[in-house]
Chain A
Amino acid sequence: MNHLPLLVRREFWEHRAFVIAPAVVAAILLLGAMFGHMDFGGASVKFTEQPELMEKHVAIVGGILTALALPYLIVIGCVIVFYLLDCLYADRKDRSVLFWKSLPVSDRSTVLAKLVTAAVVLPLLTFGAIVVSNFVFALIESIRSSIGGHDIWALVWVPYAWFGAHALILYGMVAAMLWYLPLVAWLLLVSAWARRAVILWAVLPPLMAMFLEKVLFDTSYFAGVLRDRFVGWIDAALRSDPSGERLIIIDGETTPWSARIESIVDPTGFLASPGLWIGIVMAGLFVWAAIVARRHRTDN
């Protein structure tokens, strides 16, 4: 695995969407910041005068920073899915696999480099992009508001809100990626194994399993397992019931958003959840199968 940095770099040479997709999101967001209408936290400074309003204010700033991360997360999620389906299939299709396999790089290193690219490198880079983007976004908004006569510097640049929001985003990304590892590894396996129609191979077997289960046993256990695999990390990694005092009211609606990250995240509960570890074991099996498939399948 000592070639790992170069193998990951190779993935960036091949897949320019890694850079282009977040860059497009950044361009849209920052253009929006420059020319759009954005009322950042209201024009009122009096929140800060009262501690409970301060808390609400921190929550609003944190909420906005988190919301601004969502476009990046959605886009990079799609990029990662398509990358995974393509990464061990495209070179078999164009036969360049014969070139890659003529080099002294093991199939294990190849598969693991792709896994690391999808599950570690891309999420971390995306997180970095989110932090920078939020910073630039807030800076633009602050400058615009100053020019317009409102001073929102004190409102926006609340260190605790910034730390809390980004810590929460990072925590959520790590938890979600750990929870999604079996899905990631499944896509790798399909990419390494399928002779054609990777998307169908990725989607049809689970659908067939659900269908057969319904027909044969009239149950939908597998569907529940899958559903949990998509959204279960939210329950497992975040507190479903933040203590009442942390609930805040924005525009008359109660939201579970809390200003205090430590009251939202539940890392020990997450690490103790069986779903996490079952998923990791499944991921290990799929990755192992993907390595075997990579060795066996050369081209069509």
Chain B
Amino acid sequence: MTPMLGIMASSITKSKIATGSFYSIATVTGTGSSSTITFSSIPSTYKHLQIRAIARQVSGGYSSQSPTIRFNGDTTAGNYNGHQLFGYNSGGSNFVAATANGANLPRFVQGSAVASSSMYGAVIVDIIDYASTSKYKTMRAFGGNDTNGDASGTNQIELGSALWMSTSAISSITITEKNAQSFTTASTFALYGIN
């Protein structure tokens, strides 16, 4: 430790958090030929849901992309509403996405325009009180991608919120790429339940 003029964390162990309140429900990976990710048959046994994902498009030549998230297969225009705040190389902006047939996730999906195929964007999505049958569902998301200044692959950092105006418990989640471009096979979407 001393030569590093710092502190080494010692005794790295795998000790479970006593509460055991964070559970892995399912993981879906891209197929390389589909623009849709679906979690189905989600049990109502948790309080909240969290999705953690990295993603990239196979082709299409786009920069970073904002996929759409829908619940229980609902594509009704007007049932979703959302706000997004984002930044990139300079400045910053925000906008409202209303009456869409799905909520926008942050622009985290790395487009194929960027030079390196190893670059992936990431996102964390929290869906609050998803099993409630008396409340509309609120979601927050934080995501982005960085391309080390690659001119073809816009880097983005984005915060988002969204509302699904339904009192149904969420039992399925569908995430769809807006440009109908496929997710690469290294794209992963992991769903967790939180108590």
A, B from the same assembly: no
Residues of A within 8 A of B (CB): none
Interface of B with A (CB < 8 Å)? none
